[in-house]
Structure 1
């Protein structure tokens, strides 16, 4: 008996619970974005602040991206069919890539507006209303982020992770806007377009981060080595497993695709070898329930002729 403690399982739910959480997260995101757009539109019309406009544009992009997310998550939860044997999980990566494009576009718009305001300065008015609206936006965004991070811990969804990064950006945007309005109330309105430019740069950085993660998934990037080693450990702890090679992994939505070769005794009956492979699959699935696992049994005497690079 192995004296080492088994690795702690990740926090995951059943497929039904995963679907429910993902849908709730997308509905909450769309509703929050819609409410923030209305509030910030009123604040911008009353104040004329470029920083408030920056926050408004950011929320508008969030709303568009959240709608794309809602559709993508709905599609990704459809079961496998004759034309999509591995399911539709990559729809979430495609949604994240679309979101990155939206965010990059909003950054460009903000930069142009802020540069124009630098050359054509205008006073910021009705600052109190702007501060109240942005404060409300910060509280609402914090509540949404708390729920989204709960869903990410339970599902590992890349689409919800990208959406949460949107709203983390929105939180930074709102905080910078609040500071800009505070400076404007002290008579330093010239800082308003500068904060708009800074917010635009941060939004562009966020777009690059989201886009990179989405491309990694679409290109079937391997899981982190720590997670791969965890899968190896789970398999090797099953009795009569002599070794393991050819481990291949990738993420498809919130599901994992896992392929591996088990090294077993040469004279082991096929039925017994099959049962050992079933035990390995069951052990891996207790930690990664939403996974598609393919196991091939090899005689241990053949070594690792087809081992992974």
Structure 2
């Protein structure tokens, strides 16, 4: 990630804190004026957004720290920890919502001041939709796992708010008060699903998942097209850690090739790889042709003279 990208991600994470407080305040006001348990459930999810915004901001600041003696590959994986924590908080919020909704099922009540409450909640939903879109777009562009997870979480909140709005309009129109707690339970189930997705994706990152298949194909082509002078490459391995992608492979060269010549090929390969794999940190092991190859061999593109 570039210095500009670092600044952009950190700045968005910071502004997510006051914005999440504002949206939570709007949703709780909507619940207060209506007494709706579905709107309360929507507001409870927003309290999780506040906690998640704080976590994301401080973790993003920590993750961008340069490598040190104790963390020689950098601090990138801190973002995955943030995303896991956010997923756990989402699940906790869903369980709290179910608890409130089950209690309301025993004595459902019609909404008070429904128009005002729904209007306030709708305004909060629009703010969240715009903000979530920005977070997801910037998070994917700069490969910030924490920012992207935060954006997806807020977008699930938007879906929740839309469902609550439609359902409560139906409850008011039909007079069926039980639709309110039933809707809250459906909202909670959706939140549980979103929490599971955030946790599973983050755990996958913590387990050193390889780069995406399309990135790997571009990587192999970059090696084949830019390893002229060598005899080929093999043993390609990769792992993604937030914005960084660690890439290792063996480069086979003629036994008589000098260190300087081999080094020039490696420099050319590192430059080419950096153009096709974002955040690439490349480690190339040079070995003579007499060594036994391991793993899939990548043939070198032969240029016509």
Fold shared per TM-score above 0.5: yes
Partner of 1:10: none
Partner of 1:42: 29
CA distance, structure 1, for counterparts of residue 205 and residue 278 of structure 2: 19
Question: In the alignment, does 2:115 pair up with 1:128?
Answer: yes
| Per-residue deviation, residues 97-124 of structure 1 (Å, max 9, x unmatched) | 1001100001111111111111121221
CA distance, structure 2, for counterparts of residue 20 and residue 243 of structure 1: 39
CA distance, structure 2, for counterparts of residue 46 and residue 211 of structure 1: 35
3-state DSSP class of the match of 1:292? Answer: strand
Q: Is the 8 A contact 2:235 2:295 kept in 1?
A: yes
Q: Which of 226, 230, 235 is the equivalent residue of 2:218?
A: 230
Q: Which of 276, 287, 300 is the equivalent residue of 1:287?
A: 276
CA distance, structure 2, for counterparts of residue 144 and residue 67 of structure 1: 16
Partner of 1:181: 168
Q: Where does 1:1-309 land on structure 2 (aligned, <5 Å)?
A: 15-186=2-173, 187-238=175-226, 239-288=228-277, 290-305=279-294
Q: Is the 8 A contact 1:232 1:244 kept in 2?
A: no
3-state DSSP class of the match of 2:70? Answer: coil
1:202 to partner: Cα distance: 0.7
3-state DSSP class of the match of 1:237? Answer: helix
CA distance, structure 2, for counterparts of residue 271 and residue 306 of structure 1: 26
3-state DSSP class of the match of 2:256? Answer: coil
CA distance, structure 2, for counterparts of residue 269 and residue 143 of structure 1: 57
Q: Is the 8 A contact 1:183 1:189 kept in 2?
A: no
Q: TM-score, normalised by structure 1?
A: 0.91
Q: Is the 8 A contact 1:57 1:106 kept in 2?
A: yes
Q: TM-score, normalised by structure 2?
A: 0.92
Q: State the superposition RMSD in angstroms.
A: 1.7
3-state DSSP class of the match of 1:188? Answer: coil
CA distance, structure 1, for counterparts of residue 295 and residue 168 of structure 2: 63
CA distance, structure 1, for counterparts of residue 279 and residue 215 of structure 2: 15
Q: Is the 8 A contact 2:53 2:150 kept in 1?
A: yes
> Cα distance 1:139–1:305, how it changes in 2: closer, same or farther (>3 A)?
closer
CA distance, structure 2, for counterparts of residue 114 and residue 241 of structure 1: 67
3-state DSSP class of the match of 1:248? Answer: strand
Moved more, 133-142 or 100-109: 133-142
CA distance, structure 1, for counterparts of residue 147 and residue 289 of structure 2: 43
CA distance, structure 2, for counterparts of residue 243 and residue 157 of structure 1: 34
Q: Is the 8 A contact 2:168 2:179 kept in 1?
A: no
CA distance, structure 2, for counterparts of residue 141 and residue 218 of structure 1: 28
Q: Is the 8 A contact 1:111 1:196 kept in 2?
A: yes
